[in-house]
Amino acid sequence: MAAAKAADAGHVPSEHTVQRAAILNYEHSRGYEPLHPLFVGVIAPPRELDDLRTSYAKVHEHTASDGLGAGNAPLTVSELGTIEADRARRRQEIADLFVAETRQDRADAGDSEQWSEWLAAEQDSITTAETVSNAAPTRKKSTGRQTAPQISFHTADGFEENIDPATATHIAAAYTRLSGNNVDIRFFATHSDAVLAHGVHIGRCDTPAEAIGEVNWKAYLTRADGDERKAREAVATDIETVFSSSDVAAFATRASHRRALKVSEAIETAARRWEEDTDAAWKVFPSSGAVRHQVILDGLLRPRHLIGDDPFDLYDGVATYSSGGVYLPESNVVEAMVTHVKMLHQHHDLRMQAVADAIIDRARAARDLPTGSFAERIERQWQLVELADAAELLTEDSDYIEDVTLLTANDPNQMELFALDAAA
């Protein structure tokens, strides 16, 4: 018995158990089951609407650099974890603000009896649309034309809207993939708060995996045969289908058009960022030479605080449609690295060529680093930035080669290599 108690005392809850507890806690505090992934341990307690309005009177556009202030480099993993937790808290509170304001709109527009009547009317319009759709082949054959009754619904501020059944079905199919739930066109009338919160959440995420959860992201990867860029594009297409205009976002979230427009604008920004073609830069990345050298680059890599405060901002395109994300800075830093590495490969000094190969190998290794957390994304980008900076230093001043250590090379001409080193 004592042994059993000891075992119980040392028991660590499974990830599934922790997640389920977080979901139940969220549902209890918010009044709906979340459809967006939760940052476990950072479920901010609910706040009053007026308090949220005061804190978020101005909601700024989210960027990959949120939380990285000037002078913050270098940050420890723990410090970056604290920033990520704060980002998650703010993201949740902004979602809470949108939901709370929408609930207030709903209360102002009508009482529970009025909303029950509107819901019943919506369900009737869906039934009519489905009936006509099922009978459409026969009707078209007999009359030569096909009617398409609209689905009527009400936004939270009480306005009646209409949507084409085919469009509503398309939205439901896209949200099935995004949420991992079996969604039909009746789903949105009874889950609008959760869909609204998810839309706000997506618009403030750096990656598709962060926006829809690892399980759903892996499903996109599977459908894309493991092609990460194609999977990102597929997620971008689906979030645009569900949220990209105030009309469709109003159907999915039932928010007023003014609020739905804010959601759709953030979604459009996220979609553009995720559609950035990072593969294009990597495809022209040079191959390292056939002769392998053991190169220690540490002496050439400058301290990060001397390079800059923010590894994303250093290579972001301020005026481009996909700026502010994680993928454009990746493309830009790789393109810069390609330019300098090619110059090093053409240098007459074999040591420069060896360093170019080492930079290439380390960059390819950095590409495979995980990006699931904020700290991981920062570290991956920093490694690419460090390498690009080192390559640029060498192309501008070959004397920096003295900061590189070259060990015994597996090269029949290695004596020539070190002779050049001694003569330099």
Side chain identity, residue 133? S
Q: Average model confidence (pLDDT) for the chain? A: 89
- Confidence bin at 17 (pLDDT 50/70/90): confident
Looking at the predicted structure, is the pLDDT value of residue 180 above 60? yes
* Residue pointed to by tokens 């706000």: 200
Parse the chain into domains and list their residue ranges. Answer: 13-57+73-119+151-274, 281-423
Burial 354-393 (b: 16+ CB within 10 A, else e): bbbbbbbebbeebeeeebeebbebbbbbbbbbbbbbbbbb
Residues making up the chain, counted from first to last: 424
What's the pLDDT score for residue 43?
A: 72
Burial 123-143 (b: 16+ CB within 10 A, else e): eebbeebbeeeeeeeeeeeee
Angstrom distance (rounded) from CA 213 to CA 410: 46
- Confidence bin at 6 (pLDDT 50/70/90): very low
Residue 212 burial class via C-beta count within 10 angstroms: exposed 0-12, middle 13-18, buried 19 and up: buried
Comparing 34-43, 90-99, 245-254, 258-267, which segment has the lowest mean pLDDT? Answer: 34-43
Beta-carbon-side half-sphere exposure of residue 248 (alpha carbons within 13 Å) = 24
Tens of pLDDT, residue by residue over 70-83, are: 665 578 899 999 99
Angstrom distance (rounded) from CA 23 to CA 17: 10
* Residue pointed to by tokens 């053409």: 346
Tens of pLDDT, residue by residue over 353-381, are: 999 999 999 999 999 999 999 999 999 99
What's the pLDDT score for residue 10?
A: 53
What's the pLDDT score for residue 406?
A: 86
| Nearest alpha-carbon partner for 186 in 202, 171, 201 | 171
What's the pLDDT score for residue 2?
A: 46
Looking at the predicted structure, is the pLDDT value of residue 289 above 90? no
Query: What's phi and psi for 50, nearest 5 deg?
Result: -60, -35
Token output for 22: 């977080």
Angstrom distance (rounded) from CA 323 to CA 310: 14
What's the pLDDT score for residue 69?
A: 73
Tens of pLDDT, residue by residue over 389-415, are: 999 999 999 999 999 998 865 555 554
Tens of pLDDT, residue by residue over 19-30, are: 888 899 999 999
What's the pLDDT score for residue 86?
A: 94
Cα 194 to its chain centre, rounded Å, is 19
Residue 5 burial class via C-beta count within 10 angstroms: exposed 0-12, middle 13-18, buried 19 and up: exposed
End-to-end CA distance of the chain: 75
Residue 277 burial class via C-beta count within 10 angstroms: exposed 0-12, middle 13-18, buried 19 and up: middle
What's the pLDDT score for residue 322?
A: 85
Query: What's phi and psi for 83, nearest 5 deg?
Result: -65, -45
Angstrom distance (rounded) from CA 385 to CA 337: 9
Cα 268 to its chain centre, rounded Å, is 12
**What is the pTM (predicted TM-score) of this model?**
0.89
Angstrom distance (rounded) from CA 73 to CA 217: 31
Side chain identity, residue 24? L
Work out the average pLDDT over 125-146.
Answer: 69
Token output for 393: 């230093």
